[in-house]
Each structure stands twice: as structure tokens, then as C-alpha cells.
Amino acid sequence: MTRLRIGIIGAGRIGRLHADNLLLHPDAEVAAIADPQAGPALREWAAARSIPRVDADAGSILNDRLIDAVFICSPTETHVPLIVEAARAGKHVFCEKPVSLDFRLTRFALQAAERAGIMLQVGFNRRFDRSFRRVKQWAEEGAAGELHLLRVTSRDPEPPPEAYIAMSGGLFLDMAIHDFDMARYLCGSDIVEVYARGVVRIDPVFARYGDVDTAVTTLVFANGALGVIDNSRKAVYGYDQRVELFGSGGSIAADNEYATTAMLHAADGVHRDKPPHFFLERYSAAYREESASFVRSVMRGEPVAVTGRDALQAELAAWAARQSSVAGRPVRLAESEAEAAEAAEPTIGGGSHEN
Ligand SMILES: NC(=O)c1ccc[n+]([C@@H]2O[C@H](COP(=O)([O-])OP(=O)(O)OC[C@H]3O[C@@H](n4cnc5c(N)ncnc54)[C@H](O)[C@@H]3O)[C@@H](O)[C@H]2O)c1
């Protein structure tokens, strides 16, 4: 294979971003893009990028023998059936996170991928951020000694629209899922227990959907370390993304990036520009590296950087956190998994949009 021929499924915010990044990659070719909203605007957008085919139905990509891999960038409730179909068609898959809002369905999709022997990478883009990678590298080198604590601050600049809240799956599955993954990634250990409190402090609309806009989750890792994640749907000073690992040998931290490094020192204080507005700006380089990593893994037949198991573990933590915040007590991941196993099997469906 000289170039990886890729079909993009879903041409919304994230699908177009991945397409643009892949178009810049020398070893990738964007062969087609599919979206039920395939109208003149999408065709014009694709023509400007010399993407040869725009289809309304993902089936045309899945049935195209010349396409090696698909990027699943459609709404969350479509991910599991599309992974299953792609696996049947023998195509490698990059799937946006979360794989689903129900980890039992995620497990089903993972099994289908494994049976078919295809490669599956999941879209936890923050793992490709250069600052978080440096934190991870130092931690692996033992720079912080034995890990005792992890802290993740993750606050959005503004709440999503009501229609999005209605379908999102809630703060823990929709937003904090990135942070559960970051926690596991940096700590190098699975989360075994969570204790979450969520409240509505920003907009009562969240309560209308049984959701929260502000949350703190404490974590217990398998290696014995503790963690804390704080989430908010609205930080007036911009997208706030910070991490710290603390241990016997010291502390490793990554601060926010800022739009510029310029600072004003004046009589009324010290001023600087705000952080980049939101995830598309803050993580633009990480998204580029994420898709390049997938292309590299498939072309070289090497393991993907973010696996289906990573997706499943983050979903289990998010699921348990939601349960914990409702029950008002700590919840072990194994316990919530066992409870779910006793409940009725889920059907393929559900729904979310996410950032
Ligand atoms: N990793 C990240 O940082 C990140 C950021 C944003 C979104 N996401 C995830 O990406 C997915 C899409 O989110 P978005 O913000 O781009 O949503 P979006 O609403 O902007 O775009 C989704 C697109 O998929 C299309 N679509 C719907 N059903 C389809 C189907 N069966 N086949 C093909 N296309 C279909 C829609 O018409 C729409 O154009 C979600 O799962 C979301 O959680 C991840």
C-alpha cells in the first residue's frame, strides 16, 4: 500500500477537521466523504479540496473495496453500528469518542473489530497534545517518583446549546470522558473507583435534562494513587485545561497555552491574552498528530496509540461517576459494570454530540 485510502463518515465539525488534516498528510488520500446532509454546500466544500466523491449514505464507502480505512465522525449513536459494518467489510477504523453512551455496546463493537482483525483507534485527541505528552514522558521516566496524586482541571468557555444538552448523555459521559482518559493516560494505571458530585451552578437548563454543569470527581487508581477532576461548563476567562502529577519525587504540571506570550504590566495589574477559545483551537496540533498516528499505525502494521480498551475504560469511569453523583456515594467500576450486566441488554441506539 503506497497511500492509505480513507473514507470519512460524517461531515460535521470534527469530520471536516479530520478531512483537512488528512489531506495534508503525504501518506493519506481522502477518497470519499459521506453524510446524509450531502447538499450543495458540502459538495462545494469537498470540490474545493479535490475530494472526489460525496455520498449521502455511508454504505457506499463501506462497500468500496478500494477504501482501506474509515474515519467515523458521525453522531455518537451511529458509532457502534458503523464500527460493526466497517469490521465486516475489513476496513480499519478511526472512531470519534465516545464509542457509545453504553459500555455494553462499546464492548460489542470492540469484539466485532477484534474478530475481524481490523485496527481500531479512538479519538482521545488530548493524548497527542505536546504538553500533556511531556508530562507523561517525565512521569514514565520516574521524574515525579512514586505517584501519589493527579489533578485535572477541565472547564469549557461556554455551555453548549440546549438541543445539544438534551442529547449529550450528560457532563460525565459527554465532557469528563476526555478527563477520565487523560487521568488513566498520565497515571499509567486504571481507575478502580470514583466519587462524583455534580451541581447546577451555571444554567437551570441542565437540570431540565437531569444533567449538571459543574462537577468534582475523586478517583482511586489501581496503583493506589488518588486523583481529582474538576469540570465546569463555563469558565469566563476561556478554555481551561491543566494537569498536575504529584509524587514522592516532585510535581509535573502542564499549564494552559495562551493565544500569545505578550504580557502587559501596568498600574492596575498584569494582563495577558486569554487561552485559545475552545477545543478546535486549543488542540489543533493534537488533532493533526492524532490522525497522522493512525495513518502511521495502519501503514506500518503497528499498534494504535489509543485502543478500544482505552475507550471502554474511560466510558466505565464516566458511567460510574454518573451513578455516583446520583447515589451520593463512591462507586467501584467493577460494581457498576456488574449491575449493568444484570440489566436488560441495550439495543443499538442512544445519542450524543460532544466536544
Ligand atoms: N474528540 C473530540 O475532541 C471531538 C470533538 C467534537 C466531536 N467529537 C465527536 O465526534 C462526533 C461528531 O461530532 P460533531 O461535533 O462533528 O457533530 P456534528 O453534528 O457537527 O456532525 C455530525 C455529522 O454527521 C452527520 N451524520 C449523521 N448521521 C450520519 C450517518 N449515519 N452517516 C454519516 N454521517 C452522519 C450529520 O449530518 C452531521 O453532518 C460525536 O461522536 C462527538 O462526540 C469529538
* Residue ID of nearest Cα to ligand 1 atom 4: 355
Quote the CA–CA distance of 168 and 263 in Å, as a whole number: 38
Establish if 166 belongs to a structural domain: yes
User: Both 96 and 58 in a single domain?
Assistant: yes
Read off the pLDDT of each residue in 103-110 and give the average, rounded to a whole number. Answer: 95
Closest residue by CA, ligand 1 atom 2: 355
Is the CB of 352 inside a 6 Å radius of any atom of ligand 1? yes
- Nine-digit cell string for 27: 501518506
* Residue range 306-335, pLDDT digits in tens: 999 999 999 999 999 999 999 999 999 999
Closest Cα to residue 87, out of 58, 55, 119? Answer: 119
Looking at the structure, tell me whether residues 178 and 111 fall in a common domain.
no
- Closest C-alpha residue for ligand 1 atom 39: 12
Residue 274's pLDDT band (boundaries 50, 70, 90)?
very high
CATH number of domain containing 70: 3.40.50.720
Ligand 1 centroid to Cα of residue 225, in Å, is 35
176 and 322 part of one domain: yes
Indicate if the pLDDT at residue 28 is higher than 90: yes
Question: Is the distance from the beta carbon of residue 123 to the nearest atom of ligand 1 less than 6 Å?
Answer: yes
Mean pLDDT to the nearest integer, 99-127: 97
**Do 237 and 327 fall into the same domain?**
yes
DSSP 190-226: -EEEEEEEEE--S-THHHHTT--SEEEEEEEETTS-E
In total, how many domains does the chain have? 2
Question: Is residue 354 pLDDT above 70, yes or no?
Answer: no
List the grid coordinates of 98. Answer: 465516545
Of 4-13, 22-31, 146-155, 339-348, minimum mean pLDDT range: 339-348
pLDDT at 348: 65
Distances (CA, A) of 297 to 92, 110, 199, 301, 304: 10, 18, 41, 6, 6
Regarding whether 289 and 274 lie in a shared domain, the answer is: no
Cβ proximity of 336 and 320 under 8 Å: yes
- Residues 138 and 267 reside in one and the same domain: yes
Nearest CA to ligand 1 atom 27: 74
What is the DSSP secondary-structure string of 290-347? Answer: HHHHHHHHHHHTPPPSS-HHHHHHHHHHHHHHHHHHHHTS-EEHHHHHHHHHHSPPPP
Residues 215 and 338 in one domain: yes
DSSP state of 149: E
State if residue 75 touches ligand 1 by the CB under 6 angstroms criterion.
yes
32 pLDDT band (50/70/90 cuts)?
Answer: very high
What local confidence, expressed as pLDDT, does residue 341 receive?
Answer: 75
* 71-83: pLDDT as tens digits: 999 999 999 999 9
User: pLDDT grade, residue 343 (50/70/90)?
Assistant: confident
Residues 87 and 150 occupy one common structural domain? no
Asked whether the predicted pLDDT for residue 350 surpasses 50, the reply is no
Site to substitute for ligand 1 among 8, 9, 14, most atoms within 8 A of C-beta:
14
Indicate whether 136 and 50 sit together in one domain.
no
Evaluate: CB of 96 within 6 angstroms of ligand 1.
yes
50 shares a domain with 17: yes
CA dist., res. 188 & res. 355, Å (int): 24
Residue-number span of the structural domain to which 85 is assigned:
4-126+285-307
Identify whether residues 275 and 291 lie together within a single domain.
Answer: no
At residue 129, does pLDDT exceed 70? Answer: yes
Domain membership of residue 297 (yes or no) is yes
Largest Cα–Cα distance in the chain?
67
pLDDT tens per residue, range 202-213: 999 999 999 999
Inside any domain, residue 151: yes
> Which atom of ligand 1 lies nearest, measured to the CA of 34?
33
C-beta 37 within 6 A of ligand 1? yes
pLDDT (average), residues 28-55: 97
Task: Tell me, yes or no, whether 171 and 232 share the same domain.
Answer: yes
Cβ(14) – ligand 1 distance below 6 Å: yes
Asked whether residue 350 is assigned to any structural domain, the reply reads no
- Residue 319 sits in a domain of what CATH number? 3.30.360.10
Quick check: CB of 83 below 6 Å from ligand 1? no
Give the percent of the chain with pLDDT over 90. 94
Separation between Cα atoms, residue 103 and residue 220, nearest integer Å: 20
Instruction: Report the chain's mean pLDDT, rounded to a whole number.
Output: 95
pLDDT of 227 above 70: yes
Residue 351 lies in a domain: no
Q: 3-class SS at 110?
A: helix
- Best mutation site among 18, 57, 73, 279 for ligand 1 pocket (most ligand atoms within 8 Å of CB): 73
352 pLDDT more than 60: no
Please tell me the pTM assigned to this model. Answer: 0.95
Task: Look up residue 189 and give its three cell numbers.
Answer: 494505571
Q: Tens digits of per-residue pLDDT, 142-180?
A: 999 999 999 999 999 999 999 999 999 999 999 999 999
Taking residues 233-238, report their average pLDDT: 96
In this prediction, residue 196 has a pLDDT band, given cuts at 50, 70 and 90, of very high
Residue 351 scores a pLDDT above 70: no
What are the backbone angles phi and psi of residue 351, rounded to the nearest 5°?
A: 170, 145
